[in-house]
Amino acid sequence: MLLKGRSAIITGGAGAIGRGTARVFAEHGARLAIFDVNDAALAATQAELGDQHLYMNVDVRDHAACQRAVADVAVKFGGLDILVTMAGTVPPGGIAEITIEGYDAVMDMHMRGTFNICQAAAAVMRAQKRGSIVCMSSIAPERGGGLRGGAHYAAAKGGILGFARALARELGPENIRVNAVCPGPIWTGRQEIGEQNARFAPEIPMRRVGMPEEVGGCFLFLASDLAGFVTGATLDVNGGMHIA
């Protein structure tokens, strides 16, 4: 019960890795606020995790909505201990195919979305003088793409890494830790796992893709007191696909 009595927001928490992480956090005693834009997925997450948590339609691209939703959660939970930023999709595309609209959409969802929700959460955490933020990045900026996402996706995820590190330096004096998680290919359930393994496993020393809960375990470690002196770190979870 590493998160007993802790409150946590997970953006994109109704998605594949988001729900896997929510499951792990709930098992460890956290009270959760799941933010997502997919109402059907929110309802399915509620059916699985139960009514003791909050399930909210919040678009992380909307600055005012993030401010309102975080303030609302802080009132309902009496504060906010943990923020996990997970919202976002993985758009493909070569440099010739990426449109300006597609480029803006990726930057809005990943970079602006991460900024919006972190700014709102940091205000609450500053007032409490404690908190832990863990941002979802990816193996893409570390290894130079070449998996599912295009170069714009790798750029946005690299931007998130830089953002998380700078925030760690800025907020450390206020007892707020900020870290990032960089997964390699993870099973999302949208494809047969055998198909995904056939595509990616030959390049992965552990010869398989990861599972959402294995990423959730990394978020759990960084969010919990086990990582009490860890800030500005990047935690790779990739079966050895990229070894820094």
Ligand X SMILES: NC(=O)c1ccc[n+]([C@@H]2O[C@H](COP(=O)([O-])OP(=O)(O)OC[C@H]3O[C@@H](n4cnc5c(N)ncnc54)[C@H](O)[C@@H]3O)[C@@H](O)[C@H]2O)c1
Positions marked catalytic = 153
Binding-residue pattern over the window 15 to 34 for ligand X, x denoting contact by CB under 6 A: xxxx----------------
Q: Which is nearer to ligand X, 108 or 174 (CB)?
A: 108
Least distance (Å) between residue 33 CB and ligand X: 12
Q: Does 87 bind ligand X (CB under 6 A)?
A: yes
Pick the piece of the chain touching ligand X (CB under 6 A) from 71-79, 84-92, 163-171, 172-180.
84-92
Q: Which is nearer to ligand X, 60 or 167 (CB)?
A: 60
Residue 146's alpha-carbon distances to 76, 92, 136, 243, in angstroms, are 43, 10, 18, 16
Q: Does 179 bind ligand X (CB under 6 A)?
A: no
Interface with ligand X: number of residues (CB under 6 A) = 28
Q: Are 147 and 140 in contact (CB under 8 A)?
A: yes
Q: Does 124 bind ligand X (CB under 6 A)?
A: no
Q: Are 122 and 136 in contact (CB under 8 A)?
A: no
Q: Are 7 and 82 in contact (CB under 8 A)?
A: yes
3-class secondary-structure state, position 54:
strand
Q: Does 188 bind ligand X (CB under 6 A)?
A: yes
| Distance separating alpha carbons of residues 6 and 168, to the nearest angstrom | 20
Pick the piece of the chain touching ligand X (CB under 6 A) from 1-9, 65-73, 74-82, 182-190.
182-190
Structure tokens belonging to residue 77: 């939970």
The residue sitting closest to ligand X, measured at its beta carbon, is: 15
Q: Does 38 bind ligand X (CB under 6 A)?
A: yes
Least distance (Å) between residue 92 CB and ligand X: 12
Label each residue of 70-133 as H, E or C. HHHHHHHHCCCCEEEECCCCCCCCCCCCCCHHHHHHHHHHHHHHHHHHHHHHHHHHHHHCCEEE
Q: Which is nearer to ligand X, 171 or 241 (CB)?
A: 241
Residue 227's alpha-carbon distances to 2, 221, 223, in angstroms, are 11, 6, 7
Q: Which is nearer to ligand X, 46 or 188 (CB)?
A: 188
In Å, how far from its chain's centre is CA 29? 19
**Contact set with ligand X (CB under 6 A):** 11-12, 14-18, 35-38, 41, 59-61, 86-90, 109, 113, 136, 138, 183, 185-186, 188
